[in-house]
Chain A
Amino acid sequence: MPVLTIVYACLFYAAAAVLVAGFAWKVAEYWRAPAPLKIPTTPAPATPAGAAVRVAREVVLFESLFRANKWIWLFGWLFHVALALVLLRHLRYFQDPVWGVVALAQPFGIYAGFAMLAGLAGLWARRFLVERIRYISTASDHLMLALLVAIAASGLAMKYVAHTDVVAVKAFMLGLLVFDWQPLPADPVLLVHLALVALLMAVFPASKLLHAPGVFFSPTRNQADDSRERRHVAA
C-alpha cells in the first residue's frame, strides 16, 4: 500500500469525522437553545407548514437576498446551484451502480464547474470593488473564497488540462466507504484537489459555512405568525 494512499485515506477519515462531529455538535447546540419569544419577520406565514415553505424558498431561491440585492443574489445563487450540481456529479465516485439522476447530471456538472467559478469570481470582485463590502470583509472571507476557487479550478484542470485516472479515483473512494483501501493515483492536481476538499470539510463547523444549518434554525424565518392564537412557551 503506497504511503500516499494511507495518508489520504486517513486525511479523509479525519476530515469526515471533524465535519460530522462538528456539524452534529453545532446542530445540537442550535436545537437545544430555546427560542424565548416569537420573533418572525414580516411576511410571516400564519402556520408552521407555511413557515416551513418559507424556509424552503429561502434555501432554494434565496428569496430575501433577491429582494435585497440583485447582484449578490445572482452570483450567490449561481454559485450555490452550480455547487449542488457539481456535488451531484461527484456522487458517482461513491456509488456503484450510479443513480439515474447522478448519471443525468453528468454533462451539466461540467458546465456547473464553470458557473461555480463565475459566481465565486463575482462575489470576490464585490469584496474589492464595493466599498461597503470591502469594509466588512475579513481575511477569512477572502481565504474561504480562495479555497473554493482553488477547489473548483483544480477540479476543472483535471477535466481539461491534466487528466487523472477517474476509474482509480472511484475505486479509492468506494474503498474508503467499506474500509477496503485501494491505491490513489499520484497526480499532483488530484492530490491538491482532494487535500483542499478535506480542508474545507474540516473547517466547515468552525466557520461561516454554518450558515447552511443556520438558515433552518433562524427564528425570524422558521416561526409562524400565530402568537395570539397559540401560546408560545420557550422550549
Chain B
Amino acid sequence: MATAAVQAPPLREYPVIPILARDAMAGSRPYPASEKMNEALGFPGKLVDGWREKAVLKIGELVAKNRGLRVFLDACVHCGACTDKCHYFLGTGDPKNMPVARQDLFRKVYRRYFTLGGKLFPKLVGAEDLTESVLEDWYRYFNQCSECRRCSVYCPYGIDTAEITMAAKEVMDSIGVGQKYTNEIIGKVHKIGNNLGLPGPALKNTLETLEEEVKEETGQDVRFPLDEKGAEVLVVTPSADFFAEPHVYSLVGYAKVFHAAGIRWTLSSHASEAANFGVFIGSQAQMKAIAGRVREAALELGVRRLVVGECGHAWRVAYSFWNTLIGPFDFLDSRYPVPQHICELTYDLIERGAITFDREKNDAHVVTFHDSCNVARASGMGGLPRGQFIIPRAVIRAAANHFHDMAPETIHEHTFCCGGGGGLLTDELLELRVKGALPRMEALQKVVDEHGVNFMATICAICKAQFAKVLPYYKFDMGMIGGVHQLVSNAIRLGRND
C-alpha cells in the first residue's frame, strides 16, 4: 500500500455535514496484537478454530450480562439523529463512521443469531451472518470509534455506541483478534506498573530530576515523593505526566499545589499509572485488575485520600467505576470524595484561599479549554451539576487573565473528541486521528481568529498527546496544547509556607 503523507481536510468557516464517501476509511486498520501480547492478557493468541461459533456464543454471553448492551441493540429505530454527531464521520465522510451504522455492524450479527426476525427474514431486517468480511469490517470500524459517547447524548434512547464498540472488541479479543496498541500497553501495566513501561528506579530518577529543576527555577523545595508511607494523599496520574511534554508541566503543577497548601502527598511505583486501557477493550476483568493496583497501593502506603491527575478516560474509570470495581473505600477519609480529581482539590484550595496566584504570569497565554469527552460525558466533579465544566474553568480563570470558550455547540457535553481516544493513539491510525480532529480544529480556529487564543488547556493525557501530534497538520503550533495545572504551575504563589 502506498503511504501517502496524511493530509488534513481544510478548515471551513461554516461546517457542513459531509456527503457520504463510501469506504473512504476502509483502509484504516490498526496493527494486530502479536500472539504473545494476546496471550499475556489471557486471550487466544491468534484467530481460533471455529471462531464464528465462539464469537456468537460470546455475543450471547455479553447481552445476557449487560442490560445496556441488550437494550441498545434492540431499541434503535434508525431515526438518524446520531448520524452527524461523530467526529470521525464529520472528518472522513465514511458512512460506517456514522454511529448508527457502526452499531449496525454489530447489530446485524446480533439480529441474525438472536432475534426471530433475523433468523427468519435476515434480508428484511438487515441481519447478516458473521462472515470473514463482516469480521474484517468490525476490526476496521470498531477501531475507528474513540468511545467518546457524543452520539449517546443525542440519541432519543441514549444508545451508547461506545458500549457496542467495547462489546465488539471483547468479542474480537475472545477469538484472538486483538489490537496491538491497547493489548501491548495493558501487558506493560501488569508487568511493570504503567503504560510506558517505566520501572520503579527510573521513575525515582525522573522525579528527583524534576525536584532539582523546580528548585533551580523557583528556589523552593517542591517535593515529588514516591512511595512515602504515611502521606495523606496518594496521587495516581497517567504515566505520560512523568516525562512527556507538555504533560510533565502539569505534574509540576500538582506538586506545587501540594507544596503551597502544605499537604503531604505521594506517588506510588506500584500504581504508577492512572490510565486504564481495560475500558477501551471493554474488559471489566482487565479494568478491575489494573485498578486493583491503586487499592493495593493506597492500603500499602496508608494514605487517607486518593487523587487522580489529568486524564480523561482514567477519570471516568475512577469516578464511575472504581467504587464498583475496587471499593468500598471505607479505609479512606470520608470527608473527601473518593476518588477526587486534582482539579477538584485545587479548586477547593482556591475557594478556601489556601492557594493564591500571580495571574499575570500567564498573560502570554490566551486560553481556551477543550472538554475531554470522558470527563464531560461520563463523569462529574465537585458534586455539583455540571461541575466537570465549571471547576476546570474556574481553576483556569484563577490562574490566568485571558480565557475564551469555544462555540457552545462544541464544548461541555457537546464537546468533540480530540480524535485520539479509545485506544486509537497509535501512528498507523494517523490519518483517522488527523481527520477525526477536524471538528475540534474548526472550533479552535474560530477562537484563534476572534480572540487570538494561543493556548488550549485540557485535562487528559491522550488529548495532550493527540493534539501535540495533529495540531501542526492544521497549521497550529504544537505548543498550543497544555494542561490546566500547567497554567496553575506558571502562576501559583509558592513562598508562603516556607
Which residue of chain A has its CB nearest to the CB of B317?
A37
Choice from B65, B104, B154, B158 contacting A33 with Cβ under 8 Å: B65
Which residue of chain A has its CB nearest to the CB of B64?
A33
* 14 contacts across the A-B interface (CB closer than 8 A): A33-B63, A35-B68, A38-B324, A39-B68, A46-B383, A58-B156, A68-B154, A139-B125, A214-B157, A218-B158, A219-B158, A225-B380, A227-B320, A231-B324
Question: CA of A211 to CA of B160 in the docked complex: distance in angstroms?
Answer: 14
Q: Which of B19, B117, B284, B323 gathers most chain A CB within 10 Å? A: B323
Q: Interface stretch among B72-80, B179-187, B425-433, B469-477?
A: B72-80
Question: CA of A36 to CA of B98 in the docked complex: distance in angstroms?
Answer: 27
Query: Counting CB contacts under 8 A, is A210 at the interface?
Result: yes
Question: CA of A169 to CA of B76 in the docked complex: distance in angstroms?
Answer: 35
Residues of B within 8 A of A67 (CB): 153-154
Q: CB-defined interface of B105-131 with A at 8 Å, one 1/0 digit per residue?
A: 000000000011100000111100000
Query: Counting CB contacts under 8 A, is B378 at the interface?
Result: yes
Question: CA of A98 to CA of B66 in the docked complex: distance in angstroms?
Answer: 43
In the complex, what's the smallest C-beta–C-beta distance from B314 to chain A, in angstroms?
A: 15
Query: Counting CB contacts under 8 A, is A136 at the interface?
Result: yes
Query: Counting CB contacts under 8 A, is B305 at the interface?
Result: no
Q: Are A228 and B323 in contact (CB under 8 A)?
A: yes
Q: CB-defined interface of B357-389 with A at 8 Å, one 1/0 digit per residue?
A: 000000000000000000011101001011010
Residues of B within 8 A of A131 (CB): 19-20
Which residue of chain B has its CB nearest to the CB of A65?
B156
Query: Counting CB contacts under 8 A, is B397 at the interface?
Result: no
Known: A123-B79, A132-B84, A228-B383. 16 other contacts (CB 8 A): A35-B67, A37-B324, A39-B163, A41-B158, A41-B413, A42-B380, A44-B380, A76-B79, A130-B80, A131-B19, A135-B20, A139-B123, A206-B115, A231-B324, A231-B328, A232-B324
Q: CB-defined interface of B293-337 with A at 8 Å, one 1/0 digit per residue?
A: 000000000000000000000000001110110011000000001
Count how many pairs of residues, one from A and one from B, have CB atoms less than 8 Å apart in the complex: 200
Q: Are A219 and B123 in contact (CB under 8 A)?
A: no
Given A37-B321, A41-B152, A135-B20, answer yes or no on A228-B337 (Cβ-Cβ < 8 Å).
yes
Q: Are B71 and A30 in contact (CB under 8 A)?
A: yes
Query: Counting CB contacts under 8 A, is B85 at the interface?
Result: yes
Instruction: Give the B interface residue count (CB, 8 A).
Output: 68
Residues of A within 8 A of B64 (CB): 33
Q: Which of A137, A140, A208, A228 gathers most chain B CB within 10 Å? A: A228
Residues of B within 8 A of A132 (CB): 17, 20, 80, 83-84, 95, 98
Question: CA of A232 to CA of B328 in the docked complex: distance in angstroms?
Answer: 10
Choice from B83, B84, B158 contacting A221 with Cβ under 8 Å: B158
B50-75 contacts to A (CB < 8 Å): 63-68, 70-72, 74-75
Measured CB to CB, the residues of A under 8 A from B are 26, 29-30, 33-39, 41-46, 58, 62, 64-65, 67-69, 72, 76, 123, 126, 130-133, 135-141, 143, 206-208, 210-211, 214-215, 217-221, 225, 227-234
Q: Are A29 and B19 in contact (CB under 8 A)?
A: no
Q: CB-defined interface of B136-179 with A at 8 Å, one 1/0 digit per residue?
A: 00000000000001001111111110010000000000000000
Residues of B within 8 A of A130 (CB): 80
Sorted nearest first, the 7 A-B pairs with minimum C-beta distance are A214-B75, A68-B154, A220-B158, A138-B126, A133-B80, A68-B81, A33-B67
Which residue of chain B has its CB nearest to the CB of A130?
B80
Question: CA of A211 to CA of B156 in the docked complex: distance in angstroms?
Answer: 9
Q: Are B154 and A43 in contact (CB under 8 A)?
A: no
Q: Are B319 and A140 in contact (CB under 8 A)?
A: no
Q: Which of B75, B149, B339 gathers most chain A CB within 10 Å? A: B75
Given A39-B68, A39-B163, answer yes or no on A218-B98 (Cβ-Cβ < 8 Å).
no
Query: Counting CB contacts under 8 A, is B443 at the interface?
Result: no
Q: Are A138 and B124 in contact (CB under 8 A)?
A: yes
In the complex, what's the smallest C-beta–C-beta distance from A81 to chain B, in angstroms?
A: 14
Question: CA of A69 to CA of B79 in the docked complex: distance in angstroms?
Answer: 10
Given A41-B152, A64-B153, A136-B98, answer yes or no on A211-B76 (Cβ-Cβ < 8 Å).
yes
Choice from A69, A210, A211, A233 contacting B80 with Cβ under 8 Å: A69
Residues of B within 8 A of A231 (CB): 323-324, 327-328
Residues of B within 8 A of A219 (CB): 67-68, 71, 158
Question: CA of A141 to CA of B117 in the docked complex: distance in angstroms?
Answer: 13
Which residue of chain A has its CB nearest to the CB of B376?
A42
Question: CA of A136 to CA of B64 in the docked complex: distance in angstroms?
Answer: 26
Q: Are B79 and A65 in contact (CB under 8 A)?
A: yes
Query: Counting CB contacts under 8 A, is B478 at the interface?
Result: no
Given A126-B80, A141-B78, A233-B324, answer yes or no on A37-B65 (Cβ-Cβ < 8 Å).
no
Residues of B within 8 A of A43 (CB): 385-386, 413
Question: CA of A42 to CA of B388 in the docked complex: distance in angstroms?
Answer: 10
Choice from B74, B78, B95, B338 contacting A26 with Cβ under 8 Å: B74
Residues of B within 8 A of A42 (CB): 153, 376-378, 380, 386, 388, 412-413
Residues of B within 8 A of A39 (CB): 68, 160, 163, 320, 378
Question: CA of A53 to CA of B72 in the docked complex: distance in angstroms?
Answer: 21
Q: CB-defined interface of B241-256 with A at 8 Å, one 1/0 digit per residue?
A: 0000000000000000
Choice from B17, B19, B72, B156 contacting A62 with Cβ under 8 Å: B156
Question: CA of A65 to CA of B79 in the docked complex: distance in angstroms?
Answer: 9
Q: Are A35 and B83 in contact (CB under 8 A)?
A: no
Question: CA of A210 to CA of B159 in the docked complex: distance in angstroms?
Answer: 13
Choice from B66, B75, B163 contacting A210 with Cβ under 8 Å: B75
Choice from A38, A46, A214 contacting B321 with Cβ under 8 Å: A38
In the complex, what's the smallest C-beta–C-beta distance from B210 to chain A, in angstroms?
A: 30
